[in-house]
Amino acid sequence: MRALPVIKNAFLLVEGERILDFGKMEDAPTDIEQEIDATGKFVFPSWCDSHTHLVFAKSRESEFEDRINGLTYAEISAKGGGILNSAKKLGEITEDELLIHARARLYEIAKFGTGCVEIKSGYGLTVESELKILRVIKRLKAESRLGIKATFLGAHSYPMEFRENKRGYIDLVINEMLPRVAEENLADYIDAFCEKGFFSPADTEEIIQAGKKYGLKAKIHTNQFNCMGGIQMSVANNAVSVDHLEVLNDAEMECLLDSDTMPTLLPSAPFFLNDHYPPARKMIDKGLPVALASDYNPGTTPSGKIPFVLSLACIKMKMTPQEAINAATINGAYAMEMNHDFGSIEKGKYASFFITKNIPSVAYLPYAFGSDLIETIVLKGEVFDK
Ligand code: NIG
Ligand code: FE
């Protein structure tokens, strides 16, 4: 993770949507149609944000104020705030309205340098509302120049009417929602919030195995607040990624070492909740890869700004700038199985990259945490109008 290959004084040749070639400037072709001069600048592959919930109806800044006034995230959820608050608001708007909000957020993250993103459902919690979110993601996939993967997260929380009947809700997810999601081909992955008070490792395993029958691989929310076996269970079920990991013990790290499951860290969430950060340094020193993602959502991370995630990774988790950049590009692409198309500057991959303003070094990017250092954005071969 520490090695970030850089070519000084280089060219990058694009044809159509793809990278045709790159290398040292003296080897650059001369017969080109359109040229962008990047003298004094850096060219980065677009960020690959492998964990977001950016299809939501409304912001939740009143809970932000509640927390400032002393309530915890768990207390806010228990009184019907949190995910249920978002689900209520989502139930009140149409698919077209939801698309308008989500499209604006996609545009916003593209301006921050993201070129490939995973988006989850999970703010519906009814058959129709979950489908509504996933249909919006499908429409975004069709219209956007960003790479997009969709994840079905029906098991995000229990609606109020199922608080005393958790079995009933899991059955609804598996027997009612999942077949409809599969029938309309709305999801690439399945997720569940494996956490105390939400879905146990056994519940989550049942949901993963139900998803597998429809060809959906797992990406799992686990170890945000408690270690309870979610990692071991996810690895045993060949999950593509396990996400959050604010708490992670040695046995769980060992288990991940023997796996193809990508540990995915979301440091904006503990930043916003004023909680502690995942043990990234220890993980990497033990030989694990990590991916960094935003977790863009209205409750715990109202931000999809990957450059800020990189700064948090360096400042709060002691990752080097090079490690952080690898984590938010190629490892993020791997965590949504988009590594053949995104995540690095390689021949044949999509020409999705950004050119910085004049900056002195790679490390300047996470160092200057408040600056917008992106000057030009290219998405699948086309200049994106900021
Ligand atoms: O990834 N942890 C669960 N879900 C989201 C946030 C949920 C919310 O409060 O809206 C997360 O942090
Ligand atoms: Fe999340």
Query: How far is ligand 1, taken at its centre, from the CA of residue 307, in Å?
Result: 21
Number of the ligand closest to the Cα of 224:
1
Residues 6+ apart with CB under 8 A from 175: none
In the chain, CATH 3.20.20.140 sits at 45-334
Query: How far is ligand 1, taken at its centre, from the CA of residue 145, in Å?
Result: 27
Tokens standing for residue 32: 């080109």
Residue from 53, 58, 88 whose mutation best tests the ligand 1 pocket (most atoms within 8 A of CB): 53
Hey, what amino acid is at 216?
L
Query: How far is ligand 1, taken at its centre, from the CA of residue 216, in Å?
Result: 21
199 DSSP assignment: B
Hey, what amino acid is at 54?
L
Number of the ligand closest to the Cα of 195:
1
Q: Cα separation of 223 and 231, whole Å?
A: 8
Q: Cα separation of 257 and 160, whole Å?
A: 39
Number of the ligand closest to the Cα of 194:
1
pLDDT of residue 144: 98
Residue from 241, 245, 297 whose mutation best tests the ligand 1 pocket (most atoms within 8 A of CB): 297
Percent of the chain having pLDDT more than 90? 97
Does 60 contact ligand 1 (Cβ within 6 A)? Answer: no
Hey, what amino acid is at 110?
A
Domain spanning 45-334: which superfamily?
Metal-dependent hydrolases (3.20.20.140)
Residue from 156, 268, 271, 275 whose mutation best tests the ligand 1 pocket (most atoms within 8 A of CB): 156
Mean pLDDT value across residues 206-233: 98
Does 224 contact ligand 1 (Cβ within 6 A)? Answer: yes
**Each residue of 91-120: pLDDT tens digit?**
999 999 999 999 999 999 999 999 999 999
Cβ atoms of residues 380 and 118 within 8 Å: no
Does 193 contact ligand 1 (Cβ within 6 A)? Answer: yes
* 40 CB-contact burial (10 Å; exposed 0-12 / middle 13-18 / buried 19+): exposed
pLDDT of residue 78: 83
- Strands (E) across the chain are located at 10-15, 18-24, 43-45, 47-52, 114-120, 147-155, 189-194, 217-222, 241-244, 262-265, 291-292, 353-356, 374-379, 382-384
- Going by C-alpha positions, the residue among 117, 203, 118 that lies closest to residue 157 is 203
Does 83 contact ligand 1 (Cβ within 6 A)? Answer: yes
pLDDT of residue 180: 98
pLDDT of residue 383: 97
| pTM check: above 0.95 | yes
- Going by C-alpha positions, the residue among 327, 285, 283 that lies closest to residue 309 is 327
Query: Which phi and psi angles does 383 have, rounded to 5°?
Result: -65, 130
Give the ligand 1 atom nearest the CA of 244: 1
Query: How far is ligand 2, taken at its centre, from the CA of residue 318, in Å?
Result: 22
Tokens standing for residue 314: 């360096």
Q: How confident is the model at residue 80 (pLDDT cuts 50, 70, 90)?
A: confident
Give the ligand 1 atom nearest the CA of 195: 2
pLDDT of residue 77: 85
**Each residue of 167-218: pLDDT tens digit?**
999 999 999 999 999 999 999 999 999 999 999 999 999 999 999 999 999 9
Does 118 contact ligand 1 (Cβ within 6 A)? Answer: no
With a cut of 90, say whether residue 124 has pLDDT above it.
yes
pLDDT of residue 73: 84
Tokens standing for residue 161: 């009417």
pLDDT of residue 248: 98
Q: Cα separation of 326 and 347, whole Å?
A: 18
Does 336 contact ligand 1 (Cβ within 6 A)? Answer: no
Percent of the chain having pLDDT more than 70? 100
CA distances for 362 relative to 41, 51, 182, 354, angstroms: 10, 24, 43, 13
With a cut of 90, say whether residue 297 has pLDDT above it.
yes
Mean pLDDT value across residues 362-384: 98
Q: How confident is the model at residue 79 (pLDDT cuts 50, 70, 90)?
A: confident
Three-state DSSP state, 372: coil
Query: How far is ligand 2, taken at its centre, from the CA of residue 265, in Å?
Result: 10
Mean of per-residue pLDDT scores for the chain: 97
Tokens standing for residue 108: 């916003």
Sign of the CA dihedral running 372, 108, 148, 248: positive
With a cut of 90, say whether residue 293 has pLDDT above it.
yes
**Residue minimizing CA distance to atom 10 of ligand 1:** 299
Does 295 contact ligand 1 (Cβ within 6 A)? Answer: yes
Residue from 73, 300, 303, 309 whose mutation best tests the ligand 1 pocket (most atoms within 8 A of CB): 300
- Strands (E) across 9-146 are located at 10-15, 18-24, 43-45, 47-52, 114-120
Mean pLDDT value across residues 33-50: 97
Tokens standing for residue 212: 């597998």
pLDDT of residue 258: 86
CA distances for 80 relative to 66, 75, 85, 253, angstroms: 13, 9, 6, 34
Give the ligand 1 atom nearest the CA of 86: 10
Q: Cα separation of 116 and 335, whole Å?
A: 11
Mean pLDDT value across residues 50-62: 97
**Each residue of 305-348: pLDDT tens digit?**
999 999 999 999 999 999 999 999 999 999 999 999 999 999 99
DSSP string, 302-361: ----HHHHHHHHHHHH---HHHHHHHHTHHHHHTTT-TTTSSS--TTSB--EEEESS-S-
Query: Which phi and psi angles does 119 have, rounded to 5°?
Result: -130, 135
